[in-house]
């Protein structure tokens, strides 16, 4: 059996075999050396083995600048503050008025500034009596003043009455007494205006009885505001016989105003005088009588202790005769000072 021919040994390259792991090791290929330039030759040391290696200096640590003396340390840098939103100018609050009085308020004794409810049967002289009040203007809601020479404004709806009240409030007119003739019709104007506003035909058409209260509130607010304008008020109404039926007493008949029940509930407590004008028999025949206090038959009353009834025989002096008795009642109240 013949043996394989012997393999010729590898020749060592010129300079000998390189050491394992060196740059010349065939298993590790070193990157080619860049060509040397004239600048590299000029900077290279004569003996590379003896050339010192200079290390780059370490960067100095960052710190805040030192404080000077005892002064404050400079503040660190911050971002620029954001501009504040523009604030609209504000109106200074008005000074609050004082409501409390310095002392008691004097009673209103001027008859021209009293609030009066005057009622009676037709053609008895109610408008004639009211027209004699000082500096009077009549809000005429019905015809019946043709025989009188008096300042009057025709009122045919609630809006016109509101306008009339606005002119009274504005002042500069010289009127001191406002007469409503009649308050029955004026309340009807108020009722119609409110029902038209809510687009209904009767107070009961609004839920929970709201219709009656809305009409009553409107009526009360307007008249209460009118009473604050420095004028006297006279409300005229007609009269009728009404049967009163108490729960635990026998029924009876009484003379009452014809105005709406809601209007009467307000006006009976609102006014200073409830006066009933009628006629009565005297020794010299029939004469006008003004009832100023309540009786079993008549609804009347006054805040000023007026006589139960006054005789007013002369039509042209009805107001003067009433004013005389009123002044006497005021004098009695204040010990002789009217």
Domains and CATH numbers, the chain: 111-333 (3.40.50)
Going from the C-alpha of 100 to that of each of 97, 107, 159, 246, the distances in angstroms are 9, 17, 35, 44
Give the pair of three-digit tokens for residue 192.
């119609």
Q: Which of 24-28, 126-130, 322-326, 334-338 has the lowest mean pLDDT?
A: 24-28
Q: What is the DSSP string of 29-92?
A: PPPPPPPP-HHHHHHS-SSGGG---PPPPPPPPP-PPPPPTTSPPPPPP-PPPPPPPPPPPPPP
The stretch 233-252 carries a mean pLDDT of: 91
Mean pLDDT, the chain, rounded, equals 81
The stretch 98-119 carries a mean pLDDT of: 92
Is a pLDDT exceeding 80 seen at residue 62?
A: no
DSSP element (H, E) containing 162:
helix 158-170
Is a pLDDT exceeding 70 seen at residue 52?
A: no
The stretch 31-41 carries a mean pLDDT of: 49
What are the strands, taking DSSP E only, across 192-259?
232-244, 252-257
Give the pair of three-digit tokens for residue 318.
């009805």
Residue with the larger pLDDT of the pair 142 and 5: 142
Is a pLDDT exceeding 90 seen at residue 205?
A: no
**Confidence label for 319 from pLDDT (cuts 50, 70 and 90):** very high
The stretch 164-177 carries a mean pLDDT of: 96
**Confidence label for 23 from pLDDT (cuts 50, 70 and 90):** very low
Residue with the larger pLDDT of the pair 232 and 337: 232
Q: What pLDDT, on the 0 to 100 scale, is given for residue 85? A: 60
HSE-up of 266 (CA within 13 Å, CB side)? 20
Q: What pLDDT, on the 0 to 100 scale, is given for residue 159? A: 97
Strand partners, 310: 290
Is a pLDDT exceeding 50 seen at residue 237?
A: yes
């Amino acid at each position: 059996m013949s043996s394989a021919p012997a393999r010729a040994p590898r020749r060592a390259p010129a300079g000998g075999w390189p050491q394992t792991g060196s740059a010349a090791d065939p298993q590790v290929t070193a990157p080619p050396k860049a060509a040397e330039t004239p600048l590299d030759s000029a900077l290279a040391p004569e003996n590379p083995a003896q050339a010192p290696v200079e290390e780059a200096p370490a960067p100095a640590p960052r710190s805040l600048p030192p404080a000077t003396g005892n002064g404050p340390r400079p503040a660190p840098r911050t971002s620029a503050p954001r501009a504040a939103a523009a604030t609209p100018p504000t109106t200074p609050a008005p000074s609050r008025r004082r409501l409390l009085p310095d002392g008691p308020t004097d009673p209103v004794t001027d008859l021209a500034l009293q609030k009066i409810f005057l009622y009676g049967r037709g053609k008895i002289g109610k408008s004639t009596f009211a027209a004699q009040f000082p500096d009077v203007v009549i809000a005429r809601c019905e015809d019946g003043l043709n025989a009188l020479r008096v300042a009057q404004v025709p009122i045919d709806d609630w809006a016109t009455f509101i306008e009339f009240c606005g002119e009274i409030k504005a002042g500069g007119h010289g009127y001191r007494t406002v007469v409503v003739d009649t308050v029955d019709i004026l309340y009807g104007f108020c009722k119609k205006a409110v029902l038209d506003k809510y687009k209904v035909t009767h107070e009961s058409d609004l839920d929970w009885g709201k219709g009656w209260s809305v009409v009553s509130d409107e009526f009360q607010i307007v008249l209460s505001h009118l009473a604050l304008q420095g004028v006297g008020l006279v409300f005229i109404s007609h009269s009728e016989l009404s049967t009163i039926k108490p729960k635990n007493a026998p029924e009876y008949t009484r003379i009452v105003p014809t105005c709406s029940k809601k209007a009467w509930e307000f006006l009976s407590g609102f006014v200073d005088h409830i006066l009933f004008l009628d006629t009565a028999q005297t020794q010299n025949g029939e004469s006008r009588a003004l009832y100023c206090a309540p009786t079993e038959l008549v609804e009347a009353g006054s805040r000023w202790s007026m006589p139960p009834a006054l005789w007013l025989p002369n039509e042209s002096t009805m107001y003067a005769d009433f004013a005389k008795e009123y002044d006497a009642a005021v004098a009695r109240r204040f010990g002789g000072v009217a």
